[in-house]
Structure 1
């Protein structure tokens, strides 16, 4: 009975998220010139699309290696092949199921044998967090430059304030978490302090801090390059330096779990942000759609591992 209820809830959630995604896409399509976006997509340059596929595939491999070193700091040994295999599998699940995190949860479950589910779950969460930290660093640098140096990006007051709050909040989060922990009951305080200790060891330990920074910045820049290449495929000139300021904001919207894999939210953000750099909203919409399709394509190798993994779990 409990299992059937959970299954129904998942299907209801999937239907709701698909409906929200379709609704947002339809709204954006109507507000901007959807016909122009479709025209741009129909004339996509295959070579630039292949370049986007290549750089975003590299991003998956780099993310898998980041997970490998993160897990290693928490007592979980993964070889490169296994890490890359599991990461591809998680990506195909994240792209097709609601929430965008079920694939990551599966990673944690399948590697729990060495150190337990708590440690494997922390490794997955901290690896994903490291990726967001990389994007936040890029956004912080690019935003600071575009605010102080005229030209490139014209930030409306409301958006500049929002980005400032995001950056300050992100930088202050570790200190705030530590301060809040002191106010919690003993058991909760112990739990939070344990998480903080794990984060320090996995992300900032002496053995891994440089690699964590390298992998996180590299994956952030690879994602941005993927968007730039998708834009170029459509004949949209989105300079990389400018993209560093707006693309992280577009990608952050994909973290909001109200649609499937960020569809709809990502396109709405692109339609709003592209005009800030002198491009059209329809160009933003088309670029985001192309980027979303490429994300699906690069996740397809995960299907090769799905059957064998399902068989192993069944055993």
Structure 2
């Protein structure tokens, strides 16, 4: 696990030299706290909406999790994901802590499917917005070389999403049965309408929080940049060889911000601000961690 701490340190060290670290730090130090406060609010609303999505997925699989408890457990899982390498240990712990209502199998499925719904939404946005930006005349005002770079970035992001999803399925002996559970939780009996709305809201809050961090550090992103570049930056957080996406997210932001007419230092600063906001927004998980908890066993 300690090995995963090395890449973020190395990447951020390289960015300090390549992306004008002192300038990025100055932008971060002078960040507008009002936009950071709005970003903080957006991240908290995203956590609550994600917890509700988990509550609804679990309910369709036969696992009764009260909304208040789902929110508390989601905050705790966010705190763990922000603190430990891998980015999924908090979700694993969430499944284990919720096993008493319906067993570990269903608890694990509900967590996996809830996270998968988020990845599907992100991939769908990238597919639509990326195609629109590339084929629309003047989209992002990219030159041919930059357009090719964006295509490569889209492909890499897609591969990361697909591989991450497949690895989660292959690791479980019940992967075939998981397909049926996915249909029950996300598709059947109108579930797709509810899940589309929830996932769209969560994704919008995620994009808004990063865009507000960019605005706080002096960069105003247009709609195309928010819909295409920001999702690519956020996808870099899926790389498991890191802690909460640190390093890879900053590298992606520094590399992609110039496509929107901003500097690499601006991208570096915006990503640092976003990481700090997410970390601060996960701190309520400490109250859940140290709060006495009653264990409800299945009847």
Normalised to the residue count of structure 1, the TM-score between the two structures is 0.85
Structure 2 partner of 1:157: 148
Which of 4, 16, 19 is equivalent to 1:29? 16
Q: Does 1:270 align with 2:253?
A: yes
Q: 1:305 to 1:228 in 2, by over 3 A?
A: same
Deviation at 1:161, TM superposition (A): 4.1
Which of 67, 83, 96 is equivalent to 1:96? 83
The answer on whether the counterparts of 1:75 and 1:114 sit within 8 Å (CA) in structure 2 is: no
Structure 2 partner of 1:215: 198
Q: Which runs of 5+ in 2 are unaligned?
A: none
The answer on whether the counterparts of 1:138 and 1:217 sit within 8 Å (CA) in structure 2 is: no
1:216-231 equivalences in 2 (<5 Å): 216-231=199-214
Q: Does 1:69 align with 2:56?
A: yes
1:117-136 equivalences in 2 (<5 Å): 117-136=104-123
Deviation at 1:218, TM superposition (A): 1.0
Q: 1:269 to 1:165 in 2, by over 3 A?
A: closer
The answer on whether the counterparts of 2:119 and 2:161 sit within 8 Å (CA) in structure 1 is: no
The answer on whether the counterparts of 2:78 and 2:90 sit within 8 Å (CA) in structure 1 is: yes
1:27-63 superposed Cα distances (whole Å, 9 cap, x missing partner) = 1111111111011011110100001001111100110
CA distance in 2 between counterparts of 1:312 and 1:21 reads: 38
Structure 2 partner of 1:238: 221
Q: Does 1:41 align with 2:32?
A: no
Q: 1:301 to 1:113 in 2, by over 3 A?
A: same
CA distance in 1 between counterparts of 2:159 and 2:276 reads: 33
Number of equivalenced pairs:
289
CA distance in 2 between counterparts of 1:151 and 1:226 reads: 26
Structure 2 partner of 1:52: 39
CA distance in 2 between counterparts of 1:220 and 1:99 reads: 21
Structure 2 partner of 1:4: none
Structure 2 partner of 1:3: none
CA distance in 2 between counterparts of 1:49 and 1:86 reads: 25
CA distance in 1 between counterparts of 2:157 and 2:238 reads: 14
1:122-154 superposed Cα distances (whole Å, 9 cap, x missing partner) = 110110111111111221221121112123422
The structure 1 segments of at least 4 consecutive aligned residues displaced by more than 3 Å after TM superposition are: 164-171
Deviation at 1:194, TM superposition (A): 0.7
Q: 1:51 to 1:240 in 2, by over 3 A?
A: farther
Which deviates further from its counterpart, 98-107 or 258-267? Answer: 98-107
Q: Which runs of 5+ in 1 are unaligned?
A: 1-12, 182-186
3-state secondary structure, aligned to 2:25: helix
Deviation at 1:114, TM superposition (A): 2.5
The answer on whether the counterparts of 1:17 and 1:259 sit within 8 Å (CA) in structure 2 is: yes
CA distance in 2 between counterparts of 1:65 and 1:217 reads: 13
CA distance in 2 between counterparts of 1:287 and 1:162 reads: 19
Larger gyration radius, structure 1 or structure 2:
1
Q: 1:304 to 1:169 in 2, by over 3 A?
A: closer
Which of 183, 205, 214 is equivalent to 1:200? 183
